[in-house]
A and B are shown apart, each in its own frame.
Chain A
Amino acid sequence: MNPSHDITDPAGPLLDVRGVTLQYKTKEHLVTATYRVDFQVFKSDRYVLLGPSGCGKSTLLKAIGGYLTPTEGEIRLKGKVVVKPGPDRMMVFQEFDQLMPWKTVKQNVLFPLTASGKLSGRAAEDKAMQYIEKVNLTKFVDHHPHMLSGGMKQRVAIARGMAMEPDVLLMDEPYAALDALTRRKMQDELLQLWDEIHFTVIFVTHSIPEAIKCGSRILLLSPHPGQVKAELASVPRDSADPHAAQALETRIHTMLFADAIEDTGEVQHV
């Protein structure tokens, strides 16, 4: 295998994660979050990292974002090793406070464009407005985040991430804090956006139905520490078989919970 694949090769992987072991320190312990994880993401993938809490999926996403360095292995984006956060990997977080409360919706979407120096002036503004329109928030451009609902805040965050047109959009359980109805609507909207732009997204979730609905490829991780259990293809969205999703869900559920793991409760992972 040639480790430094051709960067310009359109058939090659966009993101290459090889043997990545992630560790972080708490006050008393050195915790291994993931152990030698390998996977590859290709252009326009809707790639889902799925696993129970404690499988290090969020930590893994943060490592791709460049927020922590693997103790072993490496992460390459377009052939270049990821060493620090950067605007080529825009991140959408779960927390509603990811928007800057002192900026309006428009200014929030505009911020990374101008702060990173990607665009300025009129061009930046047009780009921001274009993506705000895509998430249907044109009416709210001049609102401050505290006036928006949770779902709207997440839409702004998604618009902000997408307006940068990053190589890959990283979403860390973006809908986990939303109510079930809003969540479903947001999932549909995400797929609609993908139909328009075909962006590459890595999506972390612990919900099996969400993974099947939103993802095209699903990486299953086992907990404590996270290791790759399988990489599955999701059910095609135009699948004629109405029971395919249900079957896949059962299959994933069996794979994840076959060896009964004791539930240690929600672990706060960094």
Chain B
Amino acid sequence: MSSKDAMLVPRPEIHRHLVGSEAFGVIEKPLSTFERLYNIGALRKAVILVVLAVVWEVWGRILNNDLLFPTFLATNIAFIKGIASGELLIKLWASLKVLFSGYAIGILLAALLTAASIASRVGTDFLETLTAMFNPLPAIALLPIALIWFGLGNGSLIFVLVHSVLWSVALNTHSGFLAVSDTLRMVGKNCGLGGFAYVSKILVPAAFPSILTGLKIGWAFAWRTLIASELVFGVSSGSGGLGWYIYENKNQLEITNVFAGLFMVILIGLVVENLIFRVIENRTVRKWGMQH
């Protein structure tokens, strides 16, 4: 080497023979039973639930006051009784029916709004202005107006539900569309797509992670809003929903039933979040590697 590299330590090159992989012995070693169990998410969560239930039970027994804080067991008994008598299920069904109609109408309107926002810049401005105005407005705050417009009944409930679903779904879908990469847009145009085909075959699937987030947020808002509104006026036509069940039992000081009602509200929340939305996620965005 030239004098430029004179400060380097001179040494010979190294060549080695590689050892065949059969000579290594163990390369993979199975995990221990504990490690494998610890890797199951559902199991970890189940353990947390059990711990919470135990804490609840112990605390309830220490307080020993069914009017303030019924125990876990007492709540479960009330819950099972409620289901056995059919009353809880009827209330649940009443709630879900309203929920589904409100949710569906909300999504439909959100689709129309975002379609308008794709079609023109005025549509975009319209959507952005409306969501900026109404998204922060709690649905419950609209109840008095809903009562005046639609009276005591499902109409008012659906109105507030639509309000709680519409903006979060529209906002997320819209921002999802905006985030679709230029490259994918150009691929779509390259294939000669335009109009509805372009939206349904490129934009919607590409924005699906955001859309799904919108649907999840919308669902959570809707469920909360529904129960809260029913607490105010679930009494219409003699068959109120879960919120009314809770309110009614509170008035009769059946606090274990109140807890059973709350239990049902939580249970439905968990089922929708962890079963329905999880399955949709696993079959779509996770499978596509768009979300981990």
Contacts and interface: CB of A to CB of B under 8 A. Distances in A.
B211 to A, nearest CB: 12
A233 interface: no
A67 B187 CA distance: 11
Interface in B185-202: 186-187, 189-193, 197, 201-202
Contacts of B189: 66-67, 84-85
B129 to A, nearest CB: 23
Contacts of A85: 186, 189-190, 192
B190 to A, nearest CB: 5
A80 to B, nearest CB: 15
A62 B190 CA distance: 11
A112 B184 contact: no
Nearest to A113: B191
Interface string A109-150: 001100111000000000000000000000000001111000
B190 A87 contact: yes
Interface residues of B, number: 21
Given A101-B288, A101-B290, A87 B187 contact: no
Contacts of A144: 287-289
A65 interface: yes
B288 A90 contact: no
A102 B192 contact: no
Contacts of B288: 101-102, 144, 146
Contacts of A176: none
Interface string A56-85: 000000100111000000000000000011
A116 B192 CA distance: 6
Contacts of B192: 85-87, 112, 115-117
A102 B284 contact: yes
A176 B205 CA distance: 27
Nearest to A101: B288
Interface string B195-234: 0010001100110100000000000000000000000000
B282 interface: no
B208 A102 contact: yes
B236 interface: no
Say which size band chain A's interface belongs to: 20 to 34
B85 interface: no
Nearest to B194: A84
Interface in B269-292: 284, 287-290
A100 B184 contact: yes
B239 interface: no
A93 B290 contact: no
A83 B284 CA distance: 36
B181 interface: yes
Given A100-B205, A100-B206, A102-B205, A147 B289 contact: yes
Interface string A79-109: 0000011110111010101101110000000
Contact of A145 (B190, B193, B208, B289): B289
B184 A97 contact: yes
B141 to A, nearest CB: 39
A116 B191 contact: yes
B21 interface: no
A101 B289 contact: yes
A91 B190 contact: yes
Contact of B191 (A95, A112, A146, A147): A112
**Quick one: which of B187, B288, B290 has the most chain A CB within 10 A?**
B187
A95 B190 CA distance: 15
B178 to A, nearest CB: 16
Nearest to B208: A102
A145 B206 CA distance: 13
Contacts of B65: none
Contacts of B190: 65, 85-87, 89-91, 112
A146 B184 contact: no
21 contacts: A65-B190, A85-B186, A85-B189, A85-B192, A86-B192, A87-B191, A87-B192, A91-B186, A91-B190, A93-B183, A95-B183, A97-B183, A98-B184, A100-B187, A100-B205, A101-B288, A102-B284, A115-B193, A144-B289, A146-B288, A146-B290
- Kindly list the 5 A-B residue pairs having the minimum CB-CB distance in the complex, ordered from nearest: A146-B289, A85-B189, A112-B191, A115-B191, A101-B288
Interface of B: 181, 183-184, 186-187, 189-193, 197, 201-202, 205-206, 208, 284, 287-290
Interface of A: 62, 65-67, 84-87, 89-91, 93, 95, 97-98, 100-102, 111-112, 115-117, 144-147
Given A87-B191, A144-B287, 16 more contacts: A65-B190, A85-B189, A90-B190, A91-B190, A93-B187, A95-B183, A100-B184, A100-B187, A100-B202, A101-B288, A101-B289, A101-B290, A102-B208, A111-B201, A116-B191, A116-B192
